[in-house]
Every structure is written in structure tokens, then in C-alpha cells.
Chain A
Amino acid sequence: MDSFHRIPDHYWDRIVRPSRPWWNLPAKEIWEYRDLILLLFRRDIVAVYKQTVLGPIWFFMGPLFTVAVYTLVFGRVARLPSDGVPPPIFYMSGILLWSFFSSNLTAITGSLVQNASLFGKVYFPRLVVPLSILLSSLVKLGIQAIMLASILLYFIFFQNFTWRPSLLLCILPLLLIILAAIALGLGLVFASLSTRYRDLNHLVGFGVLLLMYASPVIYPASFVPESLQQLFSLNPIAPILEGFKAGLFGLDFSNWWGLFYSFCFALGSLLLGLMAFHRVEGKFVDFV
């Protein structure tokens, strides 16, 4: 035994200690497990349409129905304005970014508790699971982008719609990164807390629904009355949706401060999320 005590630390490949500092992300290890991220992502996608007749077409059906219902209820019955754009295009563009955000947030929130049995049996960097969720959401976003494009083309060729996007559309990747960071950050915070307090799973469900009505998904930002503007500006998702729609439909956009606020919010929540996740990831198997 003494001979083991005398071995210097640098001899060992790995030393497991009670805890590591939170800023010390296991980036190298996550990279070693990149195949697992891909395979978990593949499992999520493939398992959805195994033993179905329509297969991957189901990925298109969900958003298609949503757009149809929104057009009928909010466009025809409630007659909400749509920035002078044909309602189906307007709703599809809102749903595109919103569902990317909301599906990420809910899936990441549930990721620790749902996979507890897997985590209880084998070790891999726990962040792998949220990252694979992010990846599969990105693919679903791509599918919905194809749908948006086809609806757009239909209206251009058959309904004489003139499409005038502006240069602002080029910041779309940045918008997506901010959106993903907010979803990941908040998702990790909620996921960490929900290992002890299951109430959060229910709360997040309600919260996401409420936040959708507080965001310009089914109505244009210009539709918000003056008296509510201050409250509205607290929502970090709103400027992103606003910016995307402004770019897509060539509208005026001046809410740069709002966008900056979203950016800062994203950074803050990401940091908070990683800290919270780090606090629970080593031990949550003991009490989940």
C-alpha cells in the first residue's frame, strides 16, 4: 500500500475527487463522447417513426396542423393582424422559432429525471444528453424551415405574393444561437432543480404556454398596446422573434437594445445553468 501512496499524481490518467470546480467544464470528455451525442440524437429521431406507415412525414404533420388551426382561429375568427403578410406564412414563421425554443426548453428540463435509470447504471458526461436534444431540435427546425419555404413558394407562384426580405435576415444564425443558449441555460437550471423538486416539470409546462402568448408568435409586436410595452420588453424571446420576422418580411426593425438584452439574458442563463447543473450532476443519482 505504501508503494501506491508514493506514486506521484501525474502518473495517473484520472483522479476522481469529491467535486471539481464548476467552471472546469469537461469539454475534452464531452468531445470523446461525440459519437454518443450523435447516436442519442439518432435514437430520438428514428424511434419517433419506427412502426409507422407515414414515417418521417409525421415531422411535417404537426406544424402543418398547427398552422391550419392558427390560420382558422386567430386569422379568420379572431381576425388578428399579420403585418400585411398572408396568415399561413406569418404563423409558420412564428412557429418555426418558437417551437425550436419551447421544445428545447421542455425536453432539457425533463432530461435528467427521465434518463435517471440510464444515469444510474453507467457513467458518461451528463451534458451529452442536453446537447443531443439541442441537435435533434435543430434538425426539426430544418424540417420546419423547408415547410416555411414551400408555403412561401406556393404563395409567391399561385397567390401573387411579392416577397421582399431585407438584409436583416442574415443575423438569423445569431438569433438561433441566442435562442438555443436561453433554452439550454434555463433548461439546465430547471432540470437541476427538478431532480429534487418535481413540481418544476409541471410549472415549466405552464410557463412555456404563457410565454408563448407573451411573445409575438401569433400577433405582430406592433400589436402590443403602449401601456403593456414595458412589461413586454422584459421578455427576452420577443426581440428575437421580432427581428426574424422583420428580416423575413422586410419590415422596419429598431429594437437593437432589446436584442442586446436577449443576448445578455442568454449569457446569464447559460452561466447559471452550467453552475446549477454542475451542483447536481455528480450526486443526483442518489436522490432522484
Chain B
Amino acid sequence: MAAALFVEGLSKEYQLGQLNGKSWLGRVFSNPASPYPHSIKALNDVSFGVEQGEVLGVLGRNGAGKSTLLKLLSRITTPTTGKIKQKGRMASLLEVGTGFHPDLTGRENVFLNGAILGMRRWEVHQRLDEIVAFAGVEQFLDTPVKRYSSGMYVRLAFAVAAHLDPEILIIDEVLAVGDAEFQKKCVEKMKMASRGEGKTILFVSHNLAFIQALCPRAILLDQGRLLADGATSEVIQQYIQGLQSAQAGATRTGTFLAQLNSIQIFNEQGEHLAIVQQSRPCSFVLEFFAQQHLEDVGVALGFNDMGGQRVLSVWTEFQHQRFSFVPGINRIRIRMPAMKLMPANYMMLTYLTSKGVLVEQAEDVQQLVVVAPPMKEGFAVPSLNQGLFNDEATFILE
């Protein structure tokens, strides 16, 4: 194997406060003995090497230094100390659609965007058909992009970037855009790039399932330092442990052969929800990390009111269902045809068993906020005054 990338003792310091930036008058009047530090090390002596054809996952909480590392790798800003050595062309998909001009047509923007990303004109020319087909915007190629739907816009932008031909590719959360089908297409494209074409890929995402599926090796950043570098499953485990210690409120009991990693809520269209509307369908996606193979797994999701009283539970036992867990990431989707809880705040808890033995009970993991459906003029809104639940009953005058 040949080396593709070597990051050597990389550090980046940022100046704090805006006095340095804007006016010298402000500096004259500023307090020289301010107790706050004047600079912060966003990245602190980070070193790692990547072989050609390797897919490396980059993990870390918000503010751990991931974006700083990517900015330095893609040369948007220069390091304070340290070096980045690379073999071959490097390209980054930090934010798709950079430099798109709304008044120019799709075709014109493809060329402009390609050039911004470092492609020569003939290279774009050669791949134009492929790019357009990938994005699925054939009919709109000569329409100004300001008339595109946001989905088309993002697809076209990603298509340009995905058809770059670099030896090293840096990808940051771009898979979060687009619908499920397009995401699948992107993952396929990336797999092909690394396995088929021997490209080196650095992949940054909060989606642990993607990281586990794509990257055999991962690094973990925490507060600007390199905390772990090794096999993805081990690094993910360390990452989750860090997350759990940060989840202050949660109390966990059990054997911990599998542990809850996250609860995410989606609507019917697969969009991420922060709050849930009453009487609307929604799904809860529970992500567990299992240490080993588990048989006869039962999962429950419960909701407590803010007084700690259990108000609702959904449990695999009730549905006569059981699963088996593979080592690593396991996701369970709980679909609810309609959210029946009255508008209020609730605390969620999960309960995981295997062969009747408690594996993990995690309480107070996350809040659920239920809001009332859109109000109709002249009608009352459901609230806790009328009870805990609201059902979609039909009323008929006979």
C-alpha cells in the first residue's frame, strides 16, 4: 500500500472576540486585563496517516474540531503549526452548490461549479451527460437554477462534485441532503469510488450507520485532540461512551451488552422532526450499539409526563415480535399511525431485553415535545384539561 495523506502535528488557533477583527479604536478602549482567553486551539497537535484506497471515518461531537480539520485539509484556511502532505489531487464536498449563480442556467452553473472545484473545461464536458443523468435534471438544463426546486438544486450540485475525479475525496454530511433514494445513490457512488477505483475517502458524519457501513477505520476527535484511531467498531464504541457521559440526565441500568445510542423522530416523508404534532403519524428510530450477537430481543419505548408518571408505552411484547441484534449498530423503527398524546412535554425512556433478561433500561434519555395540530377558527384546541390522550373519533348525527 502507498501513502495518500499524512497529517503531521496539525494545530489551528483562532483569535477570540471581534476587537481584533474590526476597529483599532475598539482595541484602544478594550480592557487589557480581560479574564477571557484571547485565542482557542480548535485543533491541537493532530497526526494521522491514510493509505491509498482507504475510507476513513471522522467522528466527534460538535465543536470537537472536525470542521476545522476539514477546512485545513481543503486549504480554505492555513494551519497555525504542522503540515499536511498529500499525494494526488484532493477535493472536498464541504458544502454543495458553492458558487452557483441563481441567474445562470443549470448547464452554465455545472461548468462554473466544476471550475471552482478545480476541474478543467474538457473534463466537465466529458462528464456532462453523466452528471445531468445522475442529478435527473435533463429537461431543466437550460433553465436558470433560481427556478429549480431545492431538491433539484442540491442534486445537481452534488452530482457535479461527485463526478470530480480526485485521488482523495473529503465528504462532510452531504448525505444528509436529498431524499432516501438519492442518499442510496450517493452511498453506492462512494462505495464504487473506494472499492472499484481505489480512491481515498475521508468521511465525516453524525450518522453512525453510514460510518460503519462505509469505513473500516475511523478516528475520533475531542476538544481538538485526536482521541482514538483504529477499527471503526472500537472507535464508535468509544464515541458512544463519550456521548453517554455527556448525556447528564440519563440514568442507565442493565448488563449493557447493547446500549441506546440515539432516538430520532421522523415524519411520514422521512424528514427529521424536533417536535411532533398531535394526531399526525410519526416514527421513532432507536439506534442501539450491541457488543455481541443478541437473540430474542424485546424493545420498549415509554413516555413519562414531567411529573415522572408513565403515560404511554409501546412494546414489542404487545405486538408479539422479537428481533435478533448483530454486533455493532442496530436500528429499530417504531411507526405510530397517529400521535395520541395531548400537547405537552414528555420524557422518553427505553427498555431492552434479550431472552427475558434486562440488557439496558435508559431513563430520561430525551424530551419529546407534542404540539397541538393547526387551529381551526371557532373550535377548541385539545389540551391536557381534556385528559392524556386524544383519539380520532368520528361523530355522526342520526
Instruction: Let me know if B76 and A120 touch, CB within 8 A.
Output: yes
What 0/1 pattern do residues 1 to 39 of A give for CB contact below 8 A with B? Answer: 101110101011111111100000000000011011011
Given A46-B108, A50-B103, A124-B116, A17 contacting B83 (CB threshold 8 A):
yes
- Contact A11/B87 with A282-B77, A287-B21 known, Cβ cut-off 8 Å: yes
Minimal beta-carbon separation of B43 from chain A (angstroms):
13
Judge whether B104 and A35 touch: CB under 8 Å. Answer: no
Check A286 for interface membership: any CB of B closer than 8 A.
Answer: yes
Does B77 contact A283, Cβ atoms closer than 8 Å?
Answer: yes
Q: Is B101 part of the contact surface with A, judged by Cβ < 8 Å? A: yes
Taking CB atoms, residues of chain B closer than 8 Å to A4 are 3, 6, 8, 49
**B 1-22 to A, binary, CB cutoff 8 A, 1 in contact else 0:** 0010010100000110000111
Chain B interface size band reads 35 or more
Cβ-based interface call for B115 (8 A): yes
Residues of A within 8 A of B112 (CB): 39-40, 43
Q: How many interface residues does A have (CB within 8 Å)? A: 43
Shortest Cβ gap from B68 to chain A (Å): 10
Nearest-neighbour CB distance to chain B for A74, whole angstroms, equals: 37
In the complex, the answer to whether A1 meets B3 with C-beta atoms within 8 Å is no
CA distance A18 to B11 in the complex (A): 10
> Is A118's CB within 8 Å of the partner chain B?
yes
> What's the Cα separation between A166 and B89 when bound, in Å?
53
**B144 on interface, CB distance cutoff 8 Å:** yes
**CB–CB B86/A12 < 8 A:** yes
A42 to B54, CA, bound (A): 39
Q: Are B78 and A18 in contact (CB under 8 A)?
A: yes
Tell me if B72 and A16 are in contact (CB < 8 A). Answer: yes
Interface: A123 (CB within 8 A) = yes
Judge if B74 is at the interface, Cβ distance under 8 Å: yes
Within 8 A of A (CB), among B75-121: 75-90, 92, 94-95, 98-99, 101, 103-104, 108, 111-112, 115-121
B126 at the interface (CB under 8 A from A): no
- Whole-angstrom distance between the alpha carbons of A42 and B14 in the complex? 36
Chain B residues within an 8 Å CB radius of A12:
6, 85-87
Q: Roughly how many angstroms separate A244 CA and B77 CA in the complex, as a whole number?
A: 43
Q: Determine the chain A residues whose CB is within 8 A of the CB of B86 once the complex forms.
A: 12-16
Report A256-286 residues with CB < 8 Å from chain B CB. 282-283, 285-286
Q: A196 at interface (Cβ–Cβ under 8 A)?
A: yes
Give Cα A198–Cα B49 distance, bound, in whole angstroms. 41
Expressed in whole angstroms, the minimum distance between the Cβ of A58 and any Cβ of chain B is 14
Contacts of B237 in A (CB 8 A): none
The listed residue (A9, A118, A198, A286) touching B14 by CB distance below 8 A is A286
Closest to B109 in A: A43
Distance in Å from the Cβ of B158 to the closest Cβ of chain A? Answer: 14
B23 within 8 A of A: yes
Q: Is the CB of B76 within 8 A of A122?
A: yes
- Are B20's CB and A287's CB within 8 A? yes
Closest to A49 in B: B103
User: Which of B75, B88, B95, B144 interacts with A123 by CB under 8 Å?
Assistant: B75
Judge whether A36 and B80 touch: CB under 8 Å.
no
The answer to whether B98 and A121 have CB atoms under 8 Å apart is yes
A287 to B17, CA, bound (A): 10
B244 on the A face (CB < 8 A): no
B390 CB-CB contact with A under 8 Å: no
A196 pairs with B21, CB closer than 8 A: yes
B13 (CB) vs chain A CBs: closest residue: A286
Q: Report if A122-B98 is in contact (Cβ < 8 Å); known contacts: A4-B3, A14-B86.
A: yes
Cβ of B47 < 8 Å from any Cβ of A?
Answer: yes
Q: Chain B contacts of A16 at CB under 8 A?
A: 72, 75, 78-79, 83-86
Q: Kindly supply a per-residue 1/0 record for chain A positions 101-123, scoring 1 wherever the CB is within 8 Å of any chain B CB and 0 otherwise.
A: 00000000000000000111111
Point out the residues of chain B lying under 8 angstroms from A197, CB to CB: 22-24
Residue A160 is within 8 A (CB to CB) of chain B in the complex: no
CB-CB nearest 6 A-B residue pairs: A282-B78, A4-B49, A123-B75, A36-B115, A16-B84, A12-B85
